[in-house]
């Protein structure tokens, strides 16, 4: 069954060299391997692949989310801002915005885009240790 195996997010980009600069220099990821036309990164105990594609940035939905322990969420958001990342806001029932951070009940989240328009997200995981 597929549910018994790990999953990996894949993000399409137009310019792999520019994407590497963004994911490595701005977001702070370290490459762990190359594949034909792409580069592999780890995030916690998971991984994701960034690869070149002519269809980069065509999805208007969240491509990848990063779960941040609630106690570390504010510092992670501040670190991203200090690296030039700006958070996006949008209309959705039940969301209250404060400086680009969405509050939804007990949860908090922020969305931003990479240079190709892929939508990324950080979300506070209430009850998850820092």
List the domain range (segments joined by +) for residue 93. 8-125
Does 93 fall in a domain?
yes
- Single out the residue of 65, 67, 43, 52 nearest to residue 119, CA to CA: 65
Q: What pLDDT sits at residue 70?
A: 92
In this structure, what DSSP letter does residue 2 have?
G
Helices assigned H by DSSP within 4-86: 16-20, 70-82
Q: What pLDDT sits at residue 57?
A: 82
Quote the number of domains for the chain: 1
Tens place of pLDDT per residue across the chain (130 aa): 778 878 889 999 999 999 999 999 999 999 999 888 899 999 999 999 999 999 998 888 999 999 999 999 999 999 999 999 999 999 989 999 999 999 988 899 999 999 999 999 999 987 555 5
Does 2 fall in a domain?
no
CATH of the domain at 19: 3.10.180.10
Does 130 fall in a domain?
no
Does 53 fall in a domain?
yes
Does 1 fall in a domain?
no
Does 26 fall in a domain?
yes
Does 91 fall in a domain?
yes
Q: What pLDDT sits at residue 12?
A: 95
């Amino acid at each position: 069954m597929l549910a018994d195996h790990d999953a990996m997010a894949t993000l399409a980009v137009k310019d792999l060299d520019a994407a590497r600069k963004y994911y490595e220099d701005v977001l702070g990821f370290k490459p762990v391997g190359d594949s034909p036309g792409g580069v592999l990164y780890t995030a916690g105990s998971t991984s994701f692949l960034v690869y070149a594609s002519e269809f980069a940035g065509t999805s208007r939905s969240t491509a990848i989310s990063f779960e941040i322990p609630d106690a570390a969420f504010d510092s992670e958001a501040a670190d991203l801002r200090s690296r030039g990342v700006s958070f996006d806001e949008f209309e959705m029932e039940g969301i209250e915005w404060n400086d680009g951070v969405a509050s939804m009940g007990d949860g908090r989240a922020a969305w931003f885009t990479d240079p190709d328009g892929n939508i990324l997200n950080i979300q506070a995981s209430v009850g998850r240790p820092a």
